Homo-oligomer: A and B are copies of this chain.
């Protein structure tokens, strides 16, 4: 499978819940997630993110996150990973939902990114 989806949240419950929501509309899409710190406190863990990248069956990863510090850890993971990571500054749940349903419908990446564009609400300069 080419593309997989990665969810990174500060909260373990959100990281568990979003895949449940989107897997329902994307049965065949690889979805993994990382949530919370190593102690499952609120925060993010580079190690958990790296594991979620490795465990993802996709060879290229579309990554979605909640808050800015998750993005920074995602970037570090991207720099250390052998797989390509694409980080989207879109609404976490809604963006991941769109990406998952379009991947399931075998829509190509350019069309997916076009549909994600209006959901960009983060990291604006």
Enumerate chain A interface residues (CB-CB to B < 8 A). Answer: 9-18, 20-21, 24, 35, 42, 66-67, 91-94, 97, 118-119, 121-122
In the bound complex, residues from chain B placing their C-beta under 8 Å from that of A18 are: 11, 14
Q: Do A21 and B11 touch (CB < 8 A)?
A: yes
Which listed residue (B11, B119, B122) contacts A17, Cβ 8 A?
B11
Q: Do A21 and B66 touch (CB < 8 A)?
A: yes
Given the interface contacts A11-B17, A17-B14, A18-B14, does A93 sit within 8 Å of B66 by beta carbon? yes
Interchain residue pairs A-B with the least CB separation, the first 3: A13-B17, A91-B91, A14-B17
Q: Do B67 and A97 touch (CB < 8 A)?
A: yes
A17 to B16, CA, bound (A): 9
Chain B nearest CB, measured from A42 CB (Å) = 6
In the bound complex, residues from chain B placing their C-beta under 8 Å from that of A118 are: 121
Question: Which single residue of chain B is at the shortest CB-CB distance from A15?
Answer: B17
Chain B nearest CB, measured from A67 CB (Å) = 7
Known pairs A91-B92, A93-B93; list 20 more (Cβ under 8 Å).
Answer: A9-B17, A10-B21, A11-B17, A11-B18, A11-B20, A12-B17, A13-B13, A13-B14, A13-B20, A14-B14, A15-B17, A16-B17, A17-B35, A24-B42, A66-B94, A67-B97, A91-B94, A92-B92, A94-B122, A119-B121
